[in-house]
Amino acid sequence: MAKSVVLDANALLMPFQFKVNLDRELKRLLGDVPVLVPSSVLGELGNALDKNSKAALALARKYSIAETELSGDDAVMDVARRHESAVVTNDRELIRRLRGERIPVIRLRGERYLVADEF
């Protein structure tokens, strides 16, 4: 079982694109585990101009920020490795890389709920 969960930018947009309650879904899947957001994800969301990205940035700030010098998918993978975390994402390339390193993946299914790889 993962000790924590990492959210990428894609995951932070889910509640605003698909009306998914991230907190409820994560609690259902994992119980009470720390939720981490790589520091570079804040910059990624902050640079976007659309309202969903601004809302996702506000949501990200309610979770623990994990400092990383890396950016993009590399940052997500770095934080997941260091904290022995699962990762919430729907990014296909990132999912492929995570599975290649045996890092648990949680993704959106049916635009309504989250599902986890077997951990």
For the chain, list the domains and their CATH numbers.
20-116 (3.40.50.1010)
> Contact, 65 vs 4, CB < 8 A?
no
Closest CA to 45 of 20, 10, 18: 10
Q: pLDDT means per 10 residues in the chain (119 residues)?
A: 92 96 95 97 92 96 97 97 97 97 96 87
pLDDT in tens, 17-46: 999 999 999 999 999 999 999 999 999 999
3-state secondary structure of 3: coil
